[in-house]
Amino acid sequence: MTARAAALSLPAMIEVSHLTKRYRERLAVDDLSFTVAKGEVIGFLGPNGAGKSTTLRILTGFLPATSGTATVAGFDVFEHPLEVKRRIGYLPENPPVYLDLTPRACLELVAGLKALPRRAVKGEIERVAHLAGIEDVLDRVAGNLSKGYRQRVGLAQALVGDPEVLVLDEPTVGLDPLQIREVRELVKGLAERHTVILSTHILPEVAMTCQKVLVLNAGRLVDFDTLDGLIAKHLPGRQVTLDDIAFLEEIYGKLVSPSGAAPVAAAAR
């Protein structure tokens, strides 16, 4: 069985069908459809205003859609929002960190909101603190931490409860190069037990961590494929390796430029 066939045989974890979000006259998300299989790491790309954050907020229950459907782990986002929230860990672009609390207190609060058994909270905080690399600052006031550490605390809270789906919106913003590499390795490791949507403007991050790439432009899906698939479609005949990050910049430019590719069919996977 080929890698692509194996991927297609995996159960769907996220299914979006004809999703639309309108703000009065502005169409932020336009008839968006895609499916993410269990265990996949998806790069979510697009220029500012493309609809990425709006789509993620709808999937995580922060925004209602104007029309269309979305399911996570088989639960309808709009009909069963609490069930969906139990299965999603969300790191928004601005980490949800209370600056007057310690990271430990923030994580205890999140554990309570996720209804973790009290006896399991201490061990869970130790687990996610280790993964996010914040053990040494757990009892410092978050307002005294650097932006990079606050970002790590945000990542830790997304991991609390070991959710099936992780939605990470710009997870490496504010981190130094070593921390960025550590987060990339963490994201790749998370794929063993989580489905991950990684929204970022950093193209090397996508090439190094993601199995497939979904590109939005002006609220519409313009492509959704593996990196090899994107290369075959948009750079035919070129000898490209995944170590050559420039290829993704070239493809991205083709897709989001005014004269770039037309939106793909809603059934694209």
Half-sphere exposure of 47 (CA within 13 A, CB side): 11
The pLDDT of residue 262: 53
pLDDT in tens, the chain (269 residues): 334 444 455 689 999 999 999 998 899 999 999 999 999 999 999 998 899 989 999 999 889 999 999 999 999 999 999 999 989 999 988 888 999 999 999 999 999 988 899 999 999 999 999 988 899 999 999 999 988 889 899 999 999 999 999 999 888 877 788 878 887 888 887 877 899 999 988 888 888 889 899 999 999 999 999 988 998 999 888 887 766 778 888 999 999 886 555 555 443 44
Which residue is listed with tokens 């948009």?
Answer: 234
Q: Which amino acid is at 6?
A: A
Domains of the chain as residue ranges with CATH:
1-87+165-269 (3.40.50.300), 94-162 (no CATH)
Of 167, 182, 162, 174, the residue nearest 86 (C-alpha): 162
How far separated are the first and last CA of the chain, in Å rounded?
18
Of 152, 110, 112, the residue nearest 131 (C-alpha): 152
The pLDDT of residue 242: 64
Q: Is 216 in contact with 53 (CB distance < 8 Å)?
A: no
The pLDDT of residue 7: 46
Alpha carbon distance 188, 210 (integer Å): 8
State the Cα angle at 209 between 205 and 20, rounded to 5°: 80
Q: Is 212 in contact with 224 (CB distance < 8 Å)?
A: yes
CA distances from residue 139 to 135, 150, 153, 165, 185 in whole angstroms, order as listed: 9, 13, 12, 28, 26
Burial of 76 (0-12, 13-18, 19+ CB in 10 A): middle
